[in-house]
Amino acid sequence: MKQILEHANLIILAPFYFGYLWAAGRFCKRHLGASKKKELLFLFFSFCSYLLMYLVGRRSSVLYIFSLGFDPIFFIALVMLLFQSDKEKRLLAASIVMLAERLVGSFCSSFFSCIVLFFRHTVRKIPVPFLSEWEIRWNSCISYCFVMVAIYGMSKHLSSVFSGKPRRWYAILAIPLLVMVTVFDVAVWGASNGIMVRSGGEMGVYYDQMFSHAGFLALEVLSMAAAGFYVLGMNQIYLEQEKSGQYHSKIEVYKMLAEQYRQSERLRHDMKNHVISLSALSKDKQWEKIADYLKRMEGIALDGCRDITGNKALDALLYQKWKQAEKENIKWECDVQAPRGYGINEFDLCVLFGNIVDNALEACGRMQRGERRFISIQAKTVKKCFLIEVKNSMDMTENSTDRFCDKGDSWEHGIGLMNVGDVVDKYDGAMDTEAGHGIFVISILIPLKGDAHDMKTAV
């Protein structure tokens, strides 16, 4: 019985610590990937490490200090060995989990300690209150419950952080977080060895405890805010840079398409004269001149762009996408009425349709060749509003719009939708996406300023 009481702290806290390890394992598996067997191995070795450090810490303070330094190293090693993805990404995942466990756990522990001490001193009128061993144990248990909730919540909201970044970016993001973990461990070691924020020595032990816990609360709040702003801020900066890079790179593409359209128009306009010239050279059997004449015409599409919307740049864009769909045996339906006059900027129209159709082509490309693949584009002006609806087939296993925003191979797809969203917001419009039963649908409504007229040509 005595031996059981000696290890009561371990017996009570162990299930809660195991729950934290389970949440950490799920976090790493979600963002890094791992087999079920390796996930279980992570839980087993992490829990064994916890038991070993507990037993070592009870023997001497020197070994306890050693265990504090060994804990993060062993945790990082397990994540690096048992989970997949790039090593820089694994390092970032390990640093986020460790920092969350320390900051959230310590914050809850300090917060509840302050409440208990305040209650005992103010309500129960105890001059110098202290936390009992049982209160400290249950305080730790409650703290680990909040840690589990925090890690589970972060797992859902950090998907974009772990998607589509270069390896160097993950390393740069991980290093400051690991420094914070080290500094925090040193601070906790100092507190465990009697180093406290004191009131000055005249206000008593109660206020010394309150000031110490309050100091840790301030440190933990500032650290959590700094870590959150750093991770999410770096991610947002990267996203903005990617969006800007794609946005400006498409300018050159659309200019090229418009120039190709103009060349095709000139060629069609002059086709009669070209035929007359070639016919005359043929009659005179001037084969070298004919060859030279045809060589100068090389590279210009003889079939030309077809009038699709009445907007030349958008016509060139949709023509190219139609040819790509035709090449990949994707059924193409396009009925577009482009707003004219006081409508939408020509470039913004190309951003809208270019990104949407690119995503549709990618979704169709992920399907099996034997499956029914199609892209349907409908756009028209109704009561001074421009309506766009694009439907495309997709893999039947893709039943959530999350697939198009933040997962692995769909990173470019997600950036494309963000570019579309930027244009929609620019014109105070609204966008909605639906996915299910093998069909993805994006609907856009943009109010038009002034008079908007239609020109309709269907393909």
Query: Helix or strand or coil: residue 455?
Result: coil
93 vs 283, residue with greater confidence: 93
Instruction: Give percent of the chain above pLDDT 90.
Output: 19
**Structure tokens given for 84:** 């997949």
Query: pLDDT at position 392, please?
Result: 93
Distance from C-alpha of 87 to C-alpha of 393, rounded to nearest angstrom: 36
> In which band, very low, low, confident or very high, does the pLDDT at 65 lie, cut at 50, 70 and 90?
low
Query: pLDDT at position 146, please?
Result: 93
Q: What is the mean pLDDT of residues 282-309?
A: 66
Asked whether the beta carbons of 341 and 452 are under 8 A apart, the reply is: yes
Query: pLDDT at position 176, please?
Result: 92
Query: pLDDT at position 251, please?
Result: 62
Query: pLDDT at position 256, please?
Result: 62
Query: pLDDT at position 405, please?
Result: 42
**374-404 pLDDT, tens digit each:** 999 999 888 888 899 999 998 876 644 444 4
302 vs 106, residue with greater confidence: 106
Residue 41, pLDDT above cutoff 90 = yes
Distance from C-alpha of 227 to C-alpha of 180, rounded to nearest angstrom: 9
Q: What is the mean pLDDT of residues 175-182?
A: 91
DSSP secondary structure of 256-323:
HHHHHHHHHHHHHHTHHHHHHHHHHHHHTT-HHHHHHHHHHTTTS-SS----SSS-HHHHHHHHHHHH
Q: What is the mean pLDDT of residues 277-288?
A: 77
Q: What is the mean pLDDT of residues 57-66?
A: 63
Query: pLDDT at position 8, please?
Result: 64
Q: For the chain, what is the mean pLDDT?
A: 78
Distance from C-alpha of 347 to C-alpha of 200, rounded to nearest angstrom: 67
Query: pLDDT at position 454, please?
Result: 45
Query: pLDDT at position 79, please?
Result: 93
Distance from C-alpha of 99 to C-alpha of 178, rounded to nearest angstrom: 8
Query: pLDDT at position 411, please?
Result: 42
Q: What is the mean pLDDT of residues 416-435?
A: 85
Q: Please list the helix, strand and coil fractions of the chain in percent, rounded to the nearest 5, in that order.
A: 70, 10, 20
> In which band, very low, low, confident or very high, does the pLDDT at 175 lie, cut at 50, 70 and 90?
very high
Residue 443, pLDDT above cutoff 90 = yes
Query: pLDDT at position 44, please?
Result: 93
**326-338 pLDDT, tens digit each:** 888 999 999 888 8
Q: What is the mean pLDDT of residues 402-420?
A: 54
Distance from C-alpha of 226 to C-alpha of 286, rounded to nearest angstrom: 78
Q: What is the pTM of this model?
A: 0.59
Residue 70, pLDDT above cutoff 50 = yes
**245-273 pLDDT, tens digit each:** 565 556 656 666 666 666 666 666 666 67
**Structure tokens given for 401:** 């719009």
**179-229 pLDDT, tens digit each:** 998 888 887 776 665 555 555 555 567 777 787 788 888 888 898 999 989
